[in-house]
């Protein structure tokens, strides 16, 4: 006998407790926001923060991926879920030129 699957209603989803950020998370995400604003010169610093929060992003995917993400004061945190395919033609230099 198959178990009946429960589906969440919109009301049940709305009643879900809101995700709140700790002071440390607010500090880290504020730093990340500033690094992202400053540009590519600090990509290794940004990577350190984003790598540290991979588990947090996975655990809170629904809240972070929802329209508007989550807010803490003036700070807004969200994830972008994108699917992209990339291709690049690269030359191979060896005996006889490129292939």
pLDDT digits (tens, 9 = 90+) for 40-96: 778 899 999 999 999 999 999 999 998 889 999 999 999 988 888 888 888 876 655
Is pLDDT above 60 for 34? yes
pLDDT digits (tens, 9 = 90+) for 9-29: 555 455 455 789 999 999 999
Which residues are 69's β-sheet partners? Answer: none
Is pLDDT above 90 for 99? no
Q: Is residue 1 part of a domain?
A: no
SS3 sequence, 36-77?
Answer: HHHCHHHHHHHHHHHHHCHHHHHHCHHHHHCCCCEEECCEEE
pTM equals: 0.65
Q: Is residue 3 part of a domain?
A: no
Supply the pLDDT for residue 31.
Answer: 95
Supply the pLDDT for residue 27.
Answer: 96
Q: Is residue 40 part of a domain?
A: yes
Token pair 């504020």: residue: 30
Please give the Cα distance from 38 to 94 (Å, whole number): 40
Structural domain range at position 89: 22-99
Domain count, the chain: 1
Q: Is residue 85 part of a domain?
A: yes
- Please name the helix (run of DSSP H) or strand (run of DSSP E) that holds residue 93, with its range, or none: strand 93-94
């Amino acid at each position: 006998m198959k178990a009946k699957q429960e589906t969440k209603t919109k009301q049940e989803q709305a009643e879900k407790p809101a995700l709140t950020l700790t002071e440390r998370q607010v500090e880290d995400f504020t730093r990340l926001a500033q690094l992202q604003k400053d540009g590519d010169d600090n990509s290794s610093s940004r990577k350190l923060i984003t790598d540290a929060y991979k588990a947090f992003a996975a655990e809170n995917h629904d809240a972070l991926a929802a329209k508007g993400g989550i807010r803490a004061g003036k700070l807004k945190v969200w994830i972008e879920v994108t699917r992209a395919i990339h291709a690049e033609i690269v030359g191979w230099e060896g005996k006889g030129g490129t292939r």
